[in-house]
Amino acid sequence: QKPFDYLIVGSGLYGAVFAHEAQKHQKKCLVIDKRDHLGGNVYCEAVEGINVHKYGAHIFHTNDKAIWDYVNRFVTFNRYTNSPLANYKGDLYNLPFNMNTFYKLWGVTSPQEAQEIIASQTKKYQVKTPKNLEEQALSLVGEDIYYKLIKGYTEKQWGRKAVDLPAFIIKRLPLRFTFDNNYFNDTYQGIPIGGYNKLIEGLLKDVVCKTGVDYFLDKTHWDQMADTIVFTGKIDEFYGYCHGKLEYRSLRFEHETLDQPNYQGNAVVNYTDAETPYTRVLEHKHFEFGKQNKTVITREYPLEAAAGNEPYYPINNAKNSDLYKKYKAMAANDEVIFGGRLAEYKYYDMHQVIAAALSKTKSLFGS
Ligand code: FAD
């Protein structure tokens, strides 16, 4: 008889929701995480009373009322609305592209004037099949928006010239002809009051958790702890990279505490020129309307996917998709449950990963 029903490797949202639901159904769970804290990428570190999003800005948004109600059972969410700014060579523009952006770019005050300018700028780029990302973007939004607000940012993000990037990376570039700076279209949006750790603590209350332990360093020991393994780490690592390594884009975060109450007046400012080496500056207190005397900012630098770098964004090209299929086929013949962004090699927003974990537990334990 093993001491636990489930060993859950990874305490991110997938692992935490799975553990919560399993425990609700009288299953004994043990959660382990190799990091020295729980919560995976939504973890916040308290600095000067400010919840610092240690692994990048996390803004919760969903259209699914059931998911919104679910997370609000553990912590109340505030009414934060994501309305990022773009800084291009010192000039500020509103994002997503909307009438405020067009007013700043061209001085236009009516949707019709903005539409006419965009039509005149995109006309000559209406080729049948854009050969690369640059051609694709120019055909969708025209020169001004592309050169000021897209090109530099995208090239920094991917570490490659836009003419060397495939067109499919940008499928659509939404243009809004209203004065609306709300980045997301979802009905529900916000940040947990007191930070994401409250959500994770609520989910993992009463669950046995161990941090600072890497499953692979003593796999045999951990496998003996439970009847079933739920694995939320990297699927290629689970199978010893036997088919090769899945690729990820990574980021480097540079956190800084400043002795001033307000640095940039907004939670997120994107730097869209090519010269500034970082892509974004976050000012964390604004996620929770903080009034502290100091402030904490984070500069976000894009990083090549390389050994040792945190895997953040799956690179969904043909090579990686084929590779993932091979691992998925192996997983299909395994007793282990694979879930979450690393095990499914999939970009999941928070609401989606919660929905995926709830769907899995529902199939196992009923609602
Ligand atoms: P993770 O949170 O990564 O958890 C996996 C856990 O497994 C980690 O804690 C890891 O340490 C642990 N682990 C891995 N291997 C092992 C091992 N061998 N042994 C022990 N433990 C192990 N979503 C939104 O909805 N809104 C946003 O604004 C948003 N912003 C984002 C910004 C960035 C930079 C990134 C990268 C993601 C963002 N997301 C956002 C997505 C969000 O982070 C994910 O949906 C969510 O964190 C996925 O949860 P998870 O449990 O699948 O993975």
CB atoms within 10 A of CB 362: 11
Rounded average pLDDT over 197-211: 98
Instruction: Tell me which of 41, 64, 203, 284 to substitute to probe ligand 1's pocket, judged by most ligand atoms within 8 Å of the beta carbon.
Output: 41
Is residue 213's pLDDT more than 90?
yes
User: Looking at the 3D structure of the chain, how many domains does it have?
Assistant: 2
Measuring from atom 46 of ligand 1, which residue has the nearest CA? 350
Asked if residue 112 and residue 236 are part of one domain, the reply reads no
C-alpha–C-alpha distance, residues 32 and 20, integer Å = 14
pLDDT for the residue 179: 98
Q: How do residues 161-184 score in pLDDT, each as one tens digit?
A: 999 999 988 888 999 999 999 999
| 158 vs 208 pLDDT, higher one | 208
Output the pLDDT for position 177: 98
> What's the whole-number mean pLDDT along residues 76-99?
98
Final residue before a domain boundary, out of 169, 202, 226: 169
How many residues does the structure list for the chain?
A: 367
Q: Catalytic: 73?
A: no
298 falls within a domain: no
Same domain for 154 and 209: no
Residues 111 and 165 grouped into a single domain: yes
**Residue 205 within any structural domain of the chain:** yes
> Do 50 and 192 fall within a single domain?
yes
CA distance 166 to 162: 8
55 domain-assigned: yes
Q: In degrees, to the nearest 5, what angle opens at C-alpha 313 toward C-alphas 285 and 195? A: 25
User: What would the pLDDT profile of 91-129 be if each residue is shown by its tens digit?
Assistant: 999 999 999 999 999 999 999 999 999 999 999 998 778
319: domain CATH number? 3.40.50.720
The domain of 221 spans 4-69+188-247+314-365
**Residue 138 class from Cβ within 10 Å (0-12 exposed, 13-18 middle, 19+ buried)?**
buried
For residue 53, the cross-strand partners are 44
Active-site residue among 36, 172, 206, 335?
172
Shared domain for 139 and 202, answered yes or no, is no
Residues 222 and 352 grouped into a single domain: yes
Q: Is 341 a catalytic residue?
A: no
pLDDT at 305 over 80: no
Q: Is residue 102 located within the same domain as residue 160?
A: yes
CA 311 to ligand 1 center in whole angstroms: 9
Mutate to test the pocket of ligand 1, among 44, 52, 58, 345 (most ligand atoms within 8 A of CB): 58
Q: Show the tokens assigned to 90.
A: 């010192």
122, 137, 169 — which closes off a domain? 169
pLDDT (tens digit per residue) in 267-292: 999 999 999 999 999 999 999 999 99
Domain check: are 13 and 62 in the same one? yes
The complex's ipTM? 0.99
Q: Which residue has the tokens 């973007």?
A: 137
Buried b / exposed e over 279-309, threshold 16 CB at 10 Å, is: bbbbbbbbbbebeeebbbbbbbebbebeeee
**Structural domain includes residue 235:** yes
Element at 237 (helix H, strand E) = helix 235-238
pLDDT digits (tens, 9 = 90+) for 223-233: 999 999 999 99
Of 169, 160, 152, 180, give the one whose Cα is nearest residue 280.
152
